[in-house]
Amino acid sequence: MNSPFSCCILAFFLLFSCQKETERVPEAQANSSFEGTYAGYRSQRLANELATDSTKITLEVSRISDSQIQILQTSPNEFSYLVTMKNHRFSYDRGLGEADCGAASIQGEGVFQNNSLVLLETLRCTRNTSYPDRHVQLRAFKQR
């Protein structure tokens, strides 16, 4: 949470997560409205650098249980995210994975808002802590 970008994402989540009690929808009902096909873009960046390129993506979102949703990237290649929902926000922890710097902790968070999906994944090097964090961002809009 040290980067300005992470702080902006956190502020975005907090801003849109505040609701009156009468506006709240049961979690299972709210989660089912997220299901469908999304189209958008995936970009990557190191630390505070701006992303220089992006890739067009297609996502399939389906509910696994009341609190879990699968986000399946179907193009240009297949990749799956299993996320834990809390209202319109979600998070996941993929544990350790391989990155340019060796082993990296992989965690992500995101939000469904107004027929759109935003996901921010952070890869943080565990051995070489001087290596900058890498961020992967997905932004997509519901098609059907």
11-35 confidence digits (pLDDT tens): 545 555 554 444 444 444 444 588 9
pTM, rounded to two decimals: 0.72
Q: Is the pLDDT of residue 53 over 70?
A: yes
User: Apex CA 9: angle with CA 11 and CA 21, to 5°?
Assistant: 50
Between these two residues, 32 and 68, which has the higher pLDDT value?
68
pLDDT of residue 72: 94
Question: Which candidate, 34, 35, 54, places its Cα nearest to that of 44?
Answer: 54
Q: State mean pLDDT over 59-67.
A: 93
Query: Counting beta carbons within 10 angstroms of the beta carbon of residue 42, is it exposed (0 to 12), middle (13 to 18) or buried (19 or more)?
Result: buried
Q: Is the pLDDT of residue 36 over 90?
A: yes
Q: Quick check: helix, strand or coil at residue 46?
A: strand
Confidence of residue 88 (pLDDT cuts 50, 70, 90): very high
Distances (CA, A) of 15 to 12, 25, 39, 107, 123: 5, 18, 24, 22, 25
Lowest mean pLDDT among 59-63, 97-101, 105-109: 97-101
| For the chain, domain boundaries | 4-18+32-142
C-alpha span between 106 and 125 (Å, rounded): 9
CATH 2.115.10.20 given to domain 4-18+32-142: no
Confidence of residue 107 (pLDDT cuts 50, 70, 90): very high
